[in-house]
A and B are shown apart, each in its own frame.
Chain A
Amino acid sequence: MESKPRFLSILDLVSLTLLLVASGLVFFYAPMEAVMGQVQRVFYFHVAAGWVGMLGFLVAAVAGIFYLRTNDHKWDVVGLSSVEIGMVFAFINIVTGSIWARPIWNTWWTWDPRLTTATVMELIYAAYLMLRSGIEDPDRRARFGAVYAILGFVSVPMTFFSARLFRTIHPVVIGTGDPSAQGTFNMTPKMLQTFLFGLLTFSFIYADLLWHRVRLGKLNDKIEQKKLEAIS
């Protein structure tokens, strides 16, 4: 059986260490926001989770392009793995956003452009998994998956720009958003450092999880291959 690469063990350790340090910065280094209070601390990992969600879908679209160009199944495994991780983090982003919204917007949920596009994005990728599970032939499944991941990626810039282009109550971190947004705050240097460190940490966690998930996918393919050989 294939042993775990040494560099993956190092990446595990680095990711865990970064997560512990990032958590320390969130709870003990970043100052408490003057109006919203403690709930504002959700912001650091809420945005970082959203970033990893979008990064996951971007990598899946790129893997889809590579698969269609090369017909190499490893890109299908990368695409599927990346979508799965992207969905986990996009889910964290949506749920933590809802928790943050309750005391600030006085509601758990509102059909605001950003919240709506983020939910549609998540559902589009849930449909990607459902589509794949409905196709038996591995080549056909990979080809459909690749095309779907490329087309589905349209939902990512739509989500990112929704808070910048439409009238929304969702605040914007990078760039300028709607002046009537609720929950906006001025980032102090310590808040900015914590925020950027959170983004870095979650990027490492994404890379680490992707590697693990790709190894899992390759093992699954190997078993499928062995089963087919046993039958024939």
Chain B
Amino acid sequence: MLLMQQGPAETTSYMIAGYAVIFGVMLIYLVSLYIRRRNLQQDMQVLEDLDQKDN
């Protein structure tokens, strides 16, 4: 299909979609790391408070 055309194919929208996926998925993973860390830190805080109450 592309071999018969004159000049480069108009494929800009596919490039934008590709990079939206790349940056979007990386961002989602970063946010998931941040949320999981925040939740674990909150759990840790609760456990440390319980420790102090026991002692």
Cβ distance B8 to chain A, nearest Cβ, rounded Å:
4
The answer to whether B40 has its CB under 8 Å from any CB of chain A is yes
The answer to whether B26 has its CB under 8 Å from any CB of chain A is yes
A96 touches B22 (CB 8 A): yes
B19 touches A45 (CB 8 A): yes
Which residues of chain A are near B29, meaning CB under 8 Å? 85, 88, 209
Partner of B12, one of A38, A85, A219: A38
The answer to whether B47 has its CB under 8 Å from any CB of chain A is yes
Known A-B contacts A102-B14, A219-B44; A34 and B25 likewise in contact (beta carbons under 8 Å): no
| Distance A85 CA – B33 CA, assembled complex (angstroms) | 11
Q: Which of A190-232 contact B (CB under 8 A)?
A: 205, 209, 212-213, 215-216, 219-220, 222-223, 226-227, 230
Cβ distance B9 to chain A, nearest Cβ, rounded Å:
4
B18 touches A223 (CB 8 A): no
Partner of A49, one of B14, B17, B22, B37: B22
SS class, residues of chain A in contact with chain B: helix
B40 touches A39 (CB 8 A): no
A1 touches B10 (CB 8 A): no
Which residues of chain A are near B3, meaning CB under 8 Å? 35
Cβ distance A149 to chain B, nearest Cβ, rounded Å:
20
Q: How many B residues have CB within 8 A of the partner chain?
A: 31
The answer to whether A103 has its CB under 8 Å from any CB of chain B is yes
Which residues of chain B are near A34, meaning CB under 8 Å? 7-8
| Distance A157 CA – B8 CA, assembled complex (angstroms) | 34
A99 touches B47 (CB 8 A): no
Q: Which of A136-176 contact B (CB under 8 A)?
A: none
B47 touches A219 (CB 8 A): no
Which residues of chain B are near A219, meaning CB under 8 Å? 37, 40-41, 44
The answer to whether A32 has its CB under 8 Å from any CB of chain B is yes
Nearest B-chain residue to A102, judged by Cβ = B14
| Distance A85 CA – B30 CA, assembled complex (angstroms) | 11
Nearest A-chain residue to B21, judged by Cβ = A95
Partner of A35, one of B9, B17, B33, B36: B9
| Distance A205 CA – B27 CA, assembled complex (angstroms) | 12
Q: Which of B1-55 contact A (CB under 8 A)?
A: 1-3, 5, 7-12, 14-15, 17-19, 21-22, 25-26, 29, 33, 36-37, 40-41, 43-45, 47, 50-51
| Distance A142 CA – B36 CA, assembled complex (angstroms) | 21
The 8 A-B residue pairs whose C-beta atoms are closest, nearest first, are A39-B11, A42-B18, A37-B8, A38-B15, A39-B14, A37-B11, A37-B9, A38-B12
